[in-house]
Homo-oligomer: A and B are copies of this chain.
Amino acid sequence: MTIRFLYHSKDDPGPWAQAFRDADPELEMMVYPEMGDPAEIVAAFVWRAPHGLLASLPNLKLIHSKGAGVDHIFDDPKVPAGVPIARLVDPMAVAMMGHYAIYHALGYHRRMDVYRAQQAESVWRGLPPPDHERTTVAVLGLGAIGREVAGQFQRLGFRTLGWSRSAKTIDGVDCRHGADALFATLAESKIVVNVLALTRETENILNAQAFAHMPRGGFLINIARGPHIVEADLIQALDSGQLGGATLDVFRAEPLAKGHPFWTHPKVTVTPHMSGDPLPRTAALQVARNIRAALAGQPLLNEVDRRRGY
């Protein structure tokens, strides 16, 4: 039996088609805009699909995000109401997001930008060693991604705080929760890594007030979503010296527009939403299993709670 599903993404479909064949030979991947008879499509594996596309598939049994976020699905006003939605929590992508945060945090912690500038001038000058046990990193958001990112920092010896909406427990990580605890958490944290889900509650959460609570010269790493940040507030915090630097992988509008001040700001590192791309080899296994589960009416892995929004 052939099970036909639709793939929509800007990434090269080749490695995905191969990985799905390896994962489940009965799956047939159609690459948008090719889709044959829309009535034969039973699942959609999508990243930022055109609005209305999902609603045009009458026999859809599963909407599967190609990323951990589903805000791009809820942005579509015509997203079909009765179809279950699943997030993709690829363990490799999650580990990669940790690696990305670790790389940039270590760069700030060890002042690698200074050493890079010194090399350009052939200058040999060591700086006093920083004390990672007394350097605090806060991870905002403690779902599957936040747990892994916080764990990576903790295992490297940093003092690690976590903050989330509801109470969580992670070995070796000092976890706080609820809106009231946010500013106190930021106040202790030299480096803040944002991995929150984007919801009405978390939009604009990283604003002037939040930055003002951080220690002067602190650093922000955003690998969640652009709308978590109030852009003008961030630029002001960087220009005033309140923040020492920001590494941004996500933006309100992607691709980041030419001419946007982030591209050229001396304290901003921009990357093109690459911190945690899913790896076809591991992710296709999970999606294939979810397609089978949806058709059989069984529970899904990482099913989205529509009311909560993630």
Q: Which residues of A contact B (CB under 8 A)?
A: 11-12, 15, 92-93, 95-96, 98-100, 102-103, 106-107, 109-110, 112, 115-116, 118-119, 122, 124-129, 131-133, 152, 155-157, 254-256, 258-259, 263-264, 269-274, 277-279, 281
Complex copy number for this chain? 2
Assuming A102-B106, A129-B279, A277-B126, is B156 touching A95 (CB within 8 A)? yes
Contact status A115-B258, CB under 8 Å: no
Give the Cβ gap from A267 to chain B, nearest Cβ, in Å. 12
A122 to B263, CA, bound (A): 6
Assess the A125–B272 pair: CB atoms within 8 A. Answer: yes
CB neighbours of A152 from chain B (8 A): 155-156
Taking A96-B129, A102-B102, A128-B277 as known contacts, 11 extra A-B pairs with beta carbons closer than 8 A to each other, sorted by chain A number, are: A92-B129, A96-B110, A99-B156, A102-B103, A103-B106, A103-B107, A125-B272, A126-B273, A129-B274, A131-B281, A155-B155
Closest to A93 in B: B129
Residue of B nearest to A125 (CB): B272
**27 A-B residue pairs with CB within 8 Å:** A11-B126, A15-B128, A92-B129, A92-B133, A92-B157, A95-B132, A95-B157, A96-B110, A96-B132, A99-B106, A99-B109, A99-B156, A100-B106, A100-B110, A102-B156, A103-B107, A110-B274, A115-B271, A115-B274, A119-B269, A119-B270, A124-B254, A124-B256, A126-B277, A152-B155, A152-B156, A155-B155
